[in-house]
Structure 1
């Protein structure tokens, strides 16, 4: 791979109970474990940041494949749910991606979502490592 851009972030403090910021200071957030994991919930957590990044990246990939196929996505949206849980002796992640594509029949929308899943950098990076479920709706 020949890098076109490199993002840089620094975590300080106690990891999940610390602070993370990007080198350009456009993102600077306090982190806290969610209440469901015994934390205060008074901050963001890595799973939220991953969900935001994956949703945006996948939506961009979806728009790219739709444009290539000359399909109009209309007012589309992509949501990502990232779950963390115990897996073996450590922790694991799973993802549900839900694409809302109001302008296309479900079969055409599903085909585009499958194509986006093949080209999205996040999907490619996670393939074979974590479970990713794709959902498609027109509502």
Structure 2
């Protein structure tokens, strides 16, 4: 069994509505509370970072599955939406919806069916989705188009 560690350094010099910083091996950014939650909206925020982790994990997992299955992909892009609920002052991350759009080069019916299956399977295989399991609902609404 291999264990991989990832590290992030954070600095928060002020109070609630101030701006801090976050840095890792390849990412450095300001952090603050988003304007939707009455914050300054500088840099990124935990809600966006969680959505980004789920989205990048999903799309990389899907690309790897497509490659291993020899699906001739022309393009893969995606929009993801995170939904946060605020009820009686309690903020809860409720749902993530991925909307991947996969463009294939003249797929056969068999390739189309396999690609569609993989678009759902990638969500279940992604390690971030598995980490969120039972806490945040993660869904996929895929589109496949011909190039």
TM category, shorter: 0.7 to 0.9
1:57 equivalent in alignment to 2:57: yes
After superposition, the Cα gap between the structure-2 partners of 1:39 and 1:90, relative to the gap in structure 1 and judged at 3 Å, is same
More strand by share: 2
Offset from partner CA, 1:41-62 (integer Å, 9 cap, x none): 2221122222222222111110
Contact 1:101 1:138 in 2 (8 A): yes
Per the alignment, residue 121 of structure 2 pairs with 115
> What SS is found at the alignment partner of 1:125?
helix
Q: Any gaps of 5 or more consecutive residues in structure 2?
A: none
RMSD of equivalent CA atoms? 2.5
CA distance in 2, matches of 1:126, 1:38: 26
Between the two proteins, the alignment pairs up a number of residues equal to: 136
Residues 58 and 78 in structure 1, CA contact (< 8 A), matched pair in contact too = no
1:45 aligns to what? 45
Aligned to 1:18: 20
CA contact (8 A) 1:109 1:136 kept: no
- Tell me the equivalent position of 1:32: 32
Between the aligned partners of 1:7 and 1:79, the Cα distance in structure 2 is: 26
Normalised by the length of structure 2, the TM-score is 0.76
The answer for unaligned runs of 5 or more in structure 1 is none
